[in-house]
């Protein structure tokens, strides 16, 4: 079986976010980049499947050459080969078209992604790719059991979860606790250096979304402290000052 | 031309977040001098459909289909309605279901899309300008959407619900379902019934590891009940199985944007803040005055939760 795992290259969750003075560019100085946390769940699930079912894992990133350390990390975790579509991922539509172009003739039984990127928080690339390929898709998936060509999945819904059954191939957006994150071992790290990382050029896409500018939230004022002995005072402030009760 | 708004339901009523989307659709329709049409799919009480008129819909399309409500099925129905109505904008509320609908619709309608938009879009010729939060609440982006059709989902609690709209006519409709919809077989569902949905709540009371164990959640639930709030928790709390996963708030969990978020015994790690920073007012109760959450809070009490919360409950009963 062949699994495609799509990963983003995103700032570490603890990063301080800032932009260039003209507010047009993300300032990446001093920022540590990681595999998107949800994408890492997708990759970890693929590794679990590989251990049980003898699969080949291909990881895919749409990004510039600067994403290669992140891609190598995915290879160290357990992917067998990698594809980088050599283009800045300008928006979800563009990215989805690139992924669909790669997946179309790739013979993948399963396409795993994260439920959402942590930079742009779109939550849409999996659905777009599935629609472009004419496949079913499910997100956010918390549990997946494969039995032959059938998958049973638990999907989070508002206020609970539901169980679905679907046949391969399909696209899934993953989240915890679908699999435990894997820590790459020495052998993985060594072999990652020599595993194939193929760079392909993007297909042409007409953009219909553009980013005009970025901004940061206004700094928060100081917290107003209420004495622990007088919680009624807190309710009074919430009711009469903040007007939220 | 028209604006089509998809209204999502829960227990035969329309969700508050969908009424917000309808109100945003009304405001946008005004700007574009066109009409706002709401589409509701599934079984509803007649009174529930009238809520859509009050919120600003000029017309309501009711598609009463049974079966598993997947994003795939819904997207094909909404695409059918959008084509019939010549919709230039499809609006809905941001949710996991909403994301699935936006993604499929944007392909089917060849539309520009954006999810989690924070206000009624601004019109500039054929372009719509929208603002959304990025980097999980740490920044904002302003985007321009171009092309003949746009599909946009709105962040929850971003636009107030209009309550003085006229009565809307309700039309029963059917649209073709995608063949793909049948490929997902729904087996069962596990859902807390009667509780206020975390993502829909105006007030959220959340507990962290500082509460020591699941047996101490009684006071969190009681406070939530009195305030009409939903309950949430930090990630370690759901990892430890003290609370169900769908209550876990933050970077890797649910993102909430209520009017009031009350955090009890939560330290305020950056990944937790990522899920709550869109709240209008944040209250922190923590025994450690140095807890980072106080820096992100509007109001705070430095104290032991086991003493403060029971007193707060007593005071809240008198509200
Ligand atoms: C102005 C701007 C500049 C940007 N520049 C860069 C950049 O230089 N490098 C960069 O890496 N990102 C960059 N991004 C982020 C990038 O545009 C988004 O990650 C991408 O558009 C997907 O958006 P999304 O949030 O809708 O994805 P979602 O729909 O939330 O993603 C869902 C899943 O799709 C898959 N996926 C998403 N994006 C990719 C991708 N690029 N490759 C492979 N799989 C993917 C992942 O599995 C992800 O979990 C930039 C964003 C902006 C706004
Ligand atoms: C990639 C990644 C993603 C993550 N995603 C999330 C996420 O989505 N959501 C999330 O919450 N976390 C997330 N985390 C974890 C996060 O970093 C913190 O570890 C977590 O939020 C801490 O939870 P806590 O505040 O409940 O516990 P703690 O950090 O242990 O804090 C407990 C707090 O309770 C206080 N306290 C103790 N006793 C009392 C008392 N009697 N009365 C009052 N206060 C008391 C303490 O002073 C302390 O501040 C993520 C981490 C990573 C690395």
> What average pLDDT does the segment A173-201 reach?
94
Ligand 1 centre and the CA of B246: distance in Å? 25
Ligand 2 centre and the CA of B170: distance in Å? 48
Strand pairing category for B36-41 and B59-63: parallel
CB contact under 8 A, A209 and B113: yes
- The Cα A70–Cα A22 span in angstroms is 28
Q: Does B111 touch chain A (CB under 8 A)?
A: yes
Domain of residue B164: give its range: 2-172
Q: What is the pLDDT of residue B194?
A: 63
Does the residue B190 lie in any domain?
Answer: no
| Same structural domain, B28 and B162 | yes
ipTM: 0.92
pLDDT digits (tens), chain B, 319 positions: 899 999 999 888 999 999 999 999 999 999 999 999 999 999 998 899 999 999 999 999 999 987 788 999 999 999 999 999 999 999 999 998 999 999 999 999 999 999 999 999 999 999 999 999 999 889 999 999 999 999 999 999 999 999 999 999 999 999 999 989 989 999 898 887 667 889 889 999 999 999 999 999 999 999 999 999 999 999 999 999 999 988 999 988 899 999 999 999 999 999 999 999 999 999 999 999 999 999 999 999 999 999 999 999 999 999 8
Q: What is the pLDDT of residue B85?
A: 96
| Same structural domain, B142 and B215 | no
Does the residue B65 lie in any domain?
Answer: yes
Q: For residue B148, what is the domain's CATH number?
A: 3.40.50.620
What is the total count of domains within chain B? 2
The residue count of chain B comes to: 319
Radius of gyration of chain B (CA): 21
Count of Cβ atoms closer than 10 Å to residue A20 Cβ: 10
> What average pLDDT does the segment A75-81 reach?
97
Q: For residue B262, what is the domain's CATH number?
A: 3.40.50.1220
Distance from CA of A55 to the nearest CA of B (A): 24
Backbone angles phi, psi at B60, to 5 degrees: -125, 125
- The Cα B119–Cα B155 span in angstroms is 8
> What average pLDDT does the segment A61-76 reach?
97
What's the pTM?
A: 0.92
| Locus of tokens 């959407």 | B145
Q: Which among B100, B144, B298 has the least Cβ separation from residue A223?
A: B298
- The Cα A12–Cα A27 span in angstroms is 14
In this predicted model, what pLDDT tens digit does every residue of A116-167 receive, in sequence order? 999 999 999 999 999 999 999 999 999 999 999 999 999 998 888 999 999 9
Q: Does B117 touch chain A (CB under 8 A)?
A: no
Q: What is the pLDDT of residue B157?
A: 92
Cβ of residue A117 lying under 6 Å from some atom of ligand 1:
yes
| Same structural domain, B22 and B141 | yes
Strand pairing category for B203-207 and B127-134: unpaired
Does the residue B234 lie in any domain?
Answer: yes
Strand pairing category for A150-157 and A160-167: antiparallel
| Same structural domain, B22 and B146 | yes
| Same structural domain, B151 and B13 | yes
In this predicted model, what pLDDT tens digit does every residue of A219-238 receive, in sequence order? 888 999 999 999 999 999 99
Chain B residues within an 8 Å CB radius of A126: 103
Distance from CA of A198 to the nearest CA of B (A): 28
pLDDT beyond 70 at A43: yes
Domains, chain A: 2-219 (3.40.50.620)
Q: Up-side HSE of residue A45: CA atoms within 13 Å toward CB?
A: 31
Q: Supply the DSSP string of B3-65, one letter for each residue.
A: EEEEE-EETTEE-HHHHHHHHHHHHHHHHTT--EEEEEES---HHHHHHHHHTT-SEEEEE--
Q: Which among A138, A237, A242 has the least Cβ separation from residue B184?
A: A138
């Amino acid at each position: 079986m062949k699994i495609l795992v799509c990963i983003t290259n995103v700032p570490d969750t603890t990063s301080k976010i800032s932009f260039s003075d003209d507010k047009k560019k993300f300032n990446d100085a001093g920022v540590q980049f990681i595999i998107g946390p949800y994408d890492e769940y997708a990759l970890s699930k693929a590794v679990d499947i590989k251990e049980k079912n003898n699969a080949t894992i291909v990881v895919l990133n749409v990004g510039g050459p600067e994403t290669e350390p992140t891609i190598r990390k995915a290879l160290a975790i357990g992917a067998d080969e990698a594809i980088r579509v050599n283009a800045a991922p300008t928006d979800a539509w563009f990215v989805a078209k690139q992924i669909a172009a790669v997946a179309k003739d790739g013979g993948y039984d399963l396409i795993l992604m994260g439920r959402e990127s942590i930079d742009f928080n779109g939550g849409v690339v999996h659905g777009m790719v599935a629609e472009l390929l004419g496949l079913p898709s499910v997100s956010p998936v918390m549990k997946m059991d494969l039995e032959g060509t059938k998958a049973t999945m638990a999907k989070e819904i508002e206020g609970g979860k539901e169980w679905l059954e679907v046949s391969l191939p399909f696209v899934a957006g993953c989240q915890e606790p679908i699999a435990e994150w894997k820590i790459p071992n020495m052998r993985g790290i060594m072999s990652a250096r020599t595993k194939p990382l193929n760079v392909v050029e993007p297909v042409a896409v007409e953009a219909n979304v553009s980013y005009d500018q970025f901004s940061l939230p206004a700094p928060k004022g100081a917290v107003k402290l209420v004495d622990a002995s007088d919680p009624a005072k807190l309710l009074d402030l919430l009711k009469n000052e903040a007007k939220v009760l | 031309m028209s604006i089509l708004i998809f209204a999502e339901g829960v227990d035969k009523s329309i969700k508050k977040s969908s009424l917000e989307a309808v109100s945003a659709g009304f405001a946008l329709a005004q700007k574009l001098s066109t009409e706002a049409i709401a589409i509701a799919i599934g079984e509803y009480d007649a009174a529930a459909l009238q809520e859509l008129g009050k919120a600003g819909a000029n017309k309501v399309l009711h598609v009463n289909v049974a079966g598993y409500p997947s994003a795939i099925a819904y997207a094909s129905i909404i695409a059918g309605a959008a084509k019939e109505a010549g919709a230039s904008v499809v609006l809905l509320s941001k949710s996991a279901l909403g994301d699935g609908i936006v993604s499929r619709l944007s392909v089917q309608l060849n539309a520009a899309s954006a999810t989690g938009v924070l206000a009624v879009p601004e019109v500039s010729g054929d372009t719509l300008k929208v603002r959304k939060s990025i980097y999980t609440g740490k920044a904002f982006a302003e985007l321009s959407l171009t092309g003949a059709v746009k599909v946009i989902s709105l962040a929850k609690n971003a636009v107030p619900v209009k309550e003085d709209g006229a009565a809307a006519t309700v039309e029963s409709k059917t649209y073709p379902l995608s063949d793909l919809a049948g490929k997902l077989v729904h087996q069962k569902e596990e859902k807390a019934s009667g509780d206020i949905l975390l993502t829909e709540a105006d007030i959220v009371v959340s507990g962290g590891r500082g509460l020591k164990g699941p047996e101490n959640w009684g006071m969190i639930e009681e406070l939530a009940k009195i305030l009409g709030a939903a309950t949430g928790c930090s990630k370690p709390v759901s990892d430890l199985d003290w609370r169900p996963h769908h209550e876990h708030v933050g970077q890797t969990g649910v993102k909430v944007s209520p009017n009031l978020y009350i955090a009890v015994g939560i330290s305020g790690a950056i990944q937790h803040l990522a899920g709550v920073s869109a709240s209008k007012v944040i209250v922190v109760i923590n025994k450690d005055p140095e807890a980072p959450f106080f820096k992100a809070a509007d109001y705070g009490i430095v104290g032991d939760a086991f003493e403060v919360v029971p007193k707060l409950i007593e005071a809240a009963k008198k509200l």
